Structure 1
Amino acid sequence: MASLDMILDNNEMVENPTPRVPVSLVLDVSGSMIGAPIDELNRGVEQFFRSLMDDDVARYAAEVNVISFGSDVSQDVEFGPLEKCVVPKLQAIGKTCMGKAVSLALETMERRKDIYKNLGVDYYQPWMVLMTDGKPTDDWEMAALKTSSLVEKGKLTVFPIAIGDNACTDTLANFSPTRSPLKLKELNFSQFFRWLSSSVSRVSQSIPGEKVELDVKGIEGWSRL
């Protein structure tokens, strides 16, 4: 039997005809993120939600889930109306279970797409932002293969982001066959999430299936080679 929350969510989805833009934030909260990195990441995530809510189109189109990974994996925000999302306060601890986190992200995105289809709601193919400051401590190869396959089929857009000099860009590259990993400049999480919210806004104003050019110039503000 469907829960009351699920029924209300489905009703709201039908009442809001705006095509959806599902975005999954898969974020490293391992022990090496303690201190300034996790503080800046939290500020950036909060700003991302705030910027989307301030956009007249994106606030109805964007649906965001947040999956954090340290020694364990947690879905801190589930897909749903932005106005009902509670921005999480992420805490850094433990190892780097990236493979498990990406697998969970793929599962949640597929389930959300099934809901869109069943309710007749149009949608854009999902985005996944994968951010890490290290390398996985769990099995990640199968998750990378699944992710790459979806990217190559045009069913997923991945933004692999390396935090700091110790992030393993070679591993990140396995999750993104068409877009090389980008290195975050210092701890410019806020600038990255401003760019991301602007990109989501641009996509939400296009037609589903239409190719949308990203703001390449804006990338220079938060990334470095």
Structure 2
Amino acid sequence: MALKFNVGDLVDNPTPRVPVTLCLDTSGSMMGEKVRELVNGVNLFYDAIGEDDDAHDSAEISIVEFNSSASLIQDFAGIEHISRINSIDASGGTALGEGVNLALDTLEQRKMIYSNAGVLYYQPWLVLMTDGQPNGRQEELERAIDRVTEMVAQRKLTVFPIGIGADADMTVLARFSPNRPPLRLRGLSFKEFFEWLSKSVSRVSRSTPGDKVKLDLDGLAGWAEL
């Protein structure tokens, strides 16, 4: 699959970038209130990034959805080039491995664009949210797990695996993050999660690329089951 990228203002705005990929389950089990709250949370995330001076210039966001297949629904772009989401259709299965692999492919190509433009970037973030058990191709799932864990071990990626609801497969999510256990969203606290995420992105954007930035662990209590 050929991916087209929005180069945007990389030349005019050489601020180091914080690439954030949202890899979101939009399978049939997300239909109804879950997917509506997810959409509201993503738009709130956009708003919060746009209102923060540091994150506004640094954050670049992409969104991959996975159901019976995977697709890129928001290419990497700065907040000024992103349109708010009106709705997401939830249907089909849970091709989680396919979704993560597309997200990583998209990230690798964006990193090449940063390098070619001479723009520095912070350690990329991958937010993986699902409410069920993966039922895509097993080899794709295993390849995704291997790729993510290798990048995490090399400090080339920060991953946040998050389960939605009681049926989320936390065992599979844990395989993506051997150093930090996956978290389960408390109820439908998408708004609280994306508020926390926007503040975390802002904290990173105020640091120097390569620095280790501590996460706001206290803030987890606002949205996660601890």
Q: TM-score, normalised by structure 2?
A: 0.94
Q: Which residue of 2 aligns with 1:218?
A: 219
What residue identity is the alignment partner of 2:119?
V
2:126 corresponds in structure 1 to 128
Which ranges of structure 2 fall in alignment gaps of 5 or more residues? none
Q: Which amino acid aligns with 1:189?
A: F
Amino acid at match of 2:13: N
Residue pair 1:145, 1:174 contacting (<8 A) in 2 also: no
CA shift, 1:17, in A, is 1.7
- Cα distance in 2 for partners of 1:11, 1:174 equals 35
Corresponding residue for 1:195? Answer: 196
Distance 1:40 1:11, change over 3 A: closer
Per the normalisation by structure 1, the TM-score is: 0.94
| Amino acid paired to 1:115 | I
Residue aligning to 2:65: 68
C-alpha contact (below 8 Å) 2:19/2:122 kept by paired residues: yes
- The code of the aligned residue for 1:170 comes to T
1:100-124 CA-to-partner distances (Å, cap 9, x unmatched) read 0000000111111111111110100
CA contact (8 A) 1:152 1:177 kept: no
1:49 aligned onto 2:50:
no
User: Residues 10 and 96 from structure 1, CA distance in 2 versus in 1: closer, same or farther, beyond 3 angstroms?
Assistant: closer
SS of the residue 1:78 aligns to: strand
Partner SS for 1:79: strand
CA apart distance, 1:87 = 2.6
Compared with structure 1, are the counterparts of its residues 32 and 215 closer, same or farther at alpha carbon in structure 2 (3 Å cutoff)? same
RMSD: 1.2
Q: What do the CA deviations read for 1:136-179 (whole angstroms, capped 9, x no partner)?
A: 11121111111100001100000000000100000001111211
Taking every aligned residue pair, what percent have the same amino acid on both sides?
49
Matched residue pairs, number? Answer: 219
The answer as to whether partners of 2:25 and 2:66 remain within 8 angstroms in 1 is: yes
Q: Which amino acid aligns with 1:126?
A: P
Instruction: Give 1:11 deviation, angstroms.
Output: 6.4
1:14-33 equivalent positions in 2, closer than 5 A? 14-33=11-30
